[in-house]
Copies of this chain bind each other. A is one copy, B any other.
Amino acid sequence: MRKEMFDHEINILRDTYRRLLRRNAKINLIKLTSKTHPADLAVVFRHFQDEEQLEIFSLMKESEHTAEFLSELDDALVNELLENESYERIAAIIEKASTNDQSGILNILDDEKAKSIIELLNVEEQEEIAEIMGYPDDSAGALMNTEVFTLHESITAGEAIKTLQDQEGAEMVFYLYITDDDDRLVGIISLRALTTTSSSTTLKDIMIKNVHSIRPETDQEEVAKIVAQYNFLAVPVLDPDSKLLGIVTVDDVVDVIREEATEDFLRMAGAGKDREILLKSSWENAKTRLPWLFASWIGGIIAASLIGIFENMLENIIALAAFIPVILGMGGNIATQSSTIIVRGMATGRVNLGGEIKLILKEAQVGLILGTLYGVLLGLFARFIFSDAPENLGFVVGLSICASMIVAATVGTIIPLILRKLDIDPAVATGPFVTTSIDILGVLFYFLIAGLFLQI
């Protein structure tokens, strides 16, 4: 129950909107929208029909609030909202956004449209946006906030506080960034240190000099790792000459961590990496998922051909066919366990380079333990339920389950390790890849074991 508190509030908000929309109460709608947190508005928008969304959006002012709302909103919805909107209005809203939000919103639109809108902005903003949009997606450069509060190292704490009072734009100030004559970052000071020091102290004397920084090309996952590891509230982005380009703040990092987790989930299941797949049409959905199922299809054809080869054996002992699903199913599930543990272990830094062989042996051992147990259980079942089948069937089935589970646990461990060695993200489609290998290997081992132990 408690878990649903947040959802509950969103539902109330949705119902209020619905009521006002039905009554066409424009004044109240405007009031409600301006009082609602942009992030809440972005969530509640997911509940509305297209026309409802457009109606509410048409009542919104070209304000910072609206800009923030758009930057929080799912990309697919932004696209729908802005599809038939005038370039002038979009430009007016974008003008109010922070630089990283500006490029974020513009990146959603198609290139032509984005270009036309950028041309409506003033030159200074055009340049800033061009710079940010020049960095690769998912890099620190695309994520950073360029409105940073910097101070020269030679001024005093008292002067710094005065400057701070005049500064409007720089949001989320917790660290002050200190530069030298050449504009290079030389240190940081926490706002708290600044407040609690004597006002005549020079910043140079109280600043922390050993600052952890990143480059604009740094991948956002790496940025997230650093911020999480050292509990940073913000981390400065420097160019090769140590000039401060911007800062990445922890709130954006929180979003990155959540997004990357969702992408990893989808990729592991072979369902693409589009976080908004639920908002897409069935066709687009099918298109994203189609290629990953192809692995399964190829695997299935190979398995079918293999079984075709063993047709004679099957003809004599039909009961063999009955255990194909359980042998592949148990194998597939233990392999998924192993590969999930390994892929996640890599993501959280718990799988070390150099320890691979130990890891594989350990997983094989887990496969042996579980395979023996479930093999005996299934062997007994096969022996007593399929009592008109050959004597040895129980033994063959049990041994095959055991072999299949050992192989599965091992393969489930090896595949992500190999992918990492090849510099491929191990989360990419490990799922379909692993289950397909197990389908082929499981069938092969099953019929080989049957051939060895059943007199035909």
Contacts and interface: CB of A to CB of B under 8 A. Distances in A.
A11 B352 CA distance: 9
A228 to B, nearest CB: 5
A330 B348 CA distance: 31
A137 interface: no
Contact of A293 (B270, B271, B349, B370): B370
Contacts of A264: 261, 265
Contacts of A319: 308, 311
Given A292-B337, A344-B262, A314 B303 contact: no
Interface stretch (A26-34, A55-63, A121-129, A279-287): A279-287
Nearest to A342: B278
A398 interface: no
Interface stretch (A99-107, A110-118, A239-247, A432-440): A432-440
A333 B265 contact: no
Contacts of A221: 3
B233 A174 contact: yes
Q: Which of A227, A257, A354, A365 has the most CB of B within 10 A?
A: A257
Nearest to A425: B3
Nearest to A377: B297
Interface string A257-270: 11001101110111
Contacts of A39: 229-231
Given A233-B233, A282-B369, A328-B328, 8 more contacts: A2-B219, A37-B230, A74-B350, A265-B344, A266-B344, A278-B350, A324-B324, A333-B431
Interface of A: 2-3, 5-7, 10-11, 37, 39-40, 43, 46-47, 74, 161, 164-165, 173-174, 191-192, 194-196, 217-219, 221-222, 225-231, 233, 250-251, 253-255, 257-258, 261-262, 264-266, 268-271, 275-279, 282-283, 285-286, 289-290, 292-293, 296-297, 299-301, 303-305, 307-308, 311, 314-315, 318-330, 332-334, 336-337, 339-341, 343-345, 347-354, 359, 362, 365-366, 369-370, 373-374, 377-378, 381-382, 385-386, 431-432, 435-436, 439, 442-443
